[in-house]
Structure 1
Amino acid sequence: MSSEIMDAYWQTPPMARTLATAILVTSITAHLGMLPYAWFYFTEDRLFRLPPEIWRLVTSFFLSTPSLGIILDPYFTYMYLSQLETTNPKFPRKEDALWYLITVGAFILTVNRLFLGNAFFLQGLIIALCYTATQDQRGVKASFFFFTVPAQLIPYCMLLMSLLMNPASLPLQISGIVAAHFHDFMTRTWPEFGGGTNYLATPAFVSRFVDTPRVFQRDYGTAIRPSSNTPSSGHSTGASAGSVLPDSWKTRGSGQRLGE
């Protein structure tokens, strides 16, 4: 039984799997007092110590909200990032999804440190992933708790829920939507409809780091990377679900997608 669980685990998309696992492990150890919060938060002065604590640029995105958030935050992170990694036409290569995480995360961190003063940024990243994953799903209906709404409105439903339950997180979440919208504008709207240059194109060093051949085999399927002079095509085929409540994780509903 355990080997089957591990086999299923290793067959999931690697970036989504790794990030969700890091969030789950960090959140459990921190919220249960096994590791101090001081190891994970980000402030600028920590980068100028000797040695510089550069890991905080990453670990500041790993801490979930307490209680139910320990489960829900890794789940939503995995769900939305796996959609970007495997089915979203904006990211035909895995290095494109990695570069998206880097640029959007850097935007969220910068805006929050300059204007908001936050030291942890996961909630902003989750809603950014949600925004990007759902914008190409117009016409698809999704369930948000007891309501059925157009998929592209799910991020704003999340904002409304935060307004009712945790208003303090709103500025961070809004910065995440702004970051995702800015990325979409710079990489798609401006180049395709404004005739401008895509200044956020995935740089060559990221491609070399990932070392992706034209056709690469993944545990969860084979992906074809289009050549640079061939227009990419595709459509989103994310997993369907009927509700964002935990009971719905085990079921699928036709024509509806959870948070998409």
Structure 2
Amino acid sequence: MAELSLDAYWRAPPIARTVATITFGLSCAVHMGVLAGDLFYYDFRLLLRIPPQVWRLVTCFLITFPNLGILFDTFHMYMYMSQLERGHPRLSRRDDFVWYLIFVSGTILILSHLTGFGFGILTQALLLAMAYTVTQEQRGQTTNYMFINIPSQLVPFAMMAINLFFPGGIGIVLLQLHGLAAAHLYLFLSKIWPEVGGGRNWIETPAFISSLVNGVAPTPQRSAAGVRAPDVASARSSGASRGPLPDSWRTRGPGHRLG
């Protein structure tokens, strides 16, 4: 049984698997007091120090809510990220997916700085952004969310609405709105404006990102017609992003602070 679980883990989408593992481990260490959370929160002033604490630009997206939130937030991190990594039509290449994460996370950081709310942990904004990007490609389908079937594209809004029933929910919703705005900006610039407005895609994956990612691991090549070909063989061998977690968890809602 342990060998089967380990095999399923290594067959999971690599980026989603790695990020979810780091999120789980770092969150456990912070909430159990093994590591000081102040070392990982986002603080713009600490980026200006010499040397700058640049790791905070990443770690602020990798710490979950405590208690059950560690499980549920980590699961949602893996679920949405794996669907984007293996199933999104515009993110079939690994470098495109990495650029998506950089663009969305960077936009969330900029919005948080401009709005002045001073959020130190931005994980919920990234989760909401990925949920929005995933479900916008599932229009016409239904999803079971909190035991209720709703149109798939409404899942991000249901995630925000459910937080209003918990203490501090207004603050969480304000944070999630940053993720919603970032994901919609990506959708508008990469799809709506080029396809409907007749403009160009202003956020195509930069060449240096492709060079960096391709230097680490090869990605599918473009076809003769210039269309990006998804890594079909890899998707089949991996179980198409099912991952090592049970299907019964897929209907769970977002994690929340208890007590």
> Match for residue 201 of structure 1?
204
Q: CA deviation at 1:2?
A: 3.3
Name the CA distance, whole Å, in 2 between partners of 1:161 and 1:143: 14
**Runs of 5+ consecutive residues of structure 2 not aligned to the other structure:** 231-238, 254-259
Residues 35 and 203 (structure 1 numbering): CA distance in 2 closer, same or farther, change over 3 Å? same
Q: CA deviation at 1:53?
A: 0.7
> Match for residue 130 of structure 2?
129
Name the CA distance, whole Å, in 1 between partners of 2:83 and 2:93: 13
Q: CA deviation at 1:7?
A: 2.2
Q: Report percent identity of matched pairs.
A: 40
Higher RCO (CA < 8 A, seq sep 6+): 2
Q: Which runs of 4+ in 1 moved over 4 A?
A: 237-240
What does residue range 62-211 of structure 1 map to in structure 2 within 5 Å? 62-115=62-115, 116-165=117-166, 166-211=169-214
Q: CA deviation at 1:167?
A: 2.3
User: Is the CA contact 1:89–1:233 (under 8 Å) kept in the aligned structure 2?
Assistant: no
> Match for residue 236 of structure 2?
none
Q: CA deviation at 1:238?
A: 7.0
Q: What's the RMSD between the two structures over aligned residues?
A: 2.7
Query: Secondary structure of 1:149's match?
Result: strand
The code of the aligned residue for 1:143 comes to N
> What is the number of residues matched between the two proteins?
241
Residues 81 and 122 (structure 1 numbering): CA distance in 2 closer, same or farther, change over 3 Å? same
What does residue range 241-260 of structure 1 map to in structure 2 within 5 Å? 248-249=248-249
TM-score, normalising length: structure 2: 0.85
TM-score, normalising length: structure 1: 0.84
User: Is the CA contact 1:47–1:53 (under 8 Å) kept in the aligned structure 2?
Assistant: yes
User: Is the CA contact 1:92–1:225 (under 8 Å) kept in the aligned structure 2?
Assistant: no
User: Is the CA contact 2:135–2:155 (under 8 Å) kept in the aligned structure 1?
Assistant: yes
**TM-superposition CA deviations, 1:118-169 (whole Å, max 9, x none):** 1110000001000000101111111011210011110010010011222220
Q: CA deviation at 1:232?
A: 5.0
Name the CA distance, whole Å, in 1 between partners of 2:50 and 2:32: 29
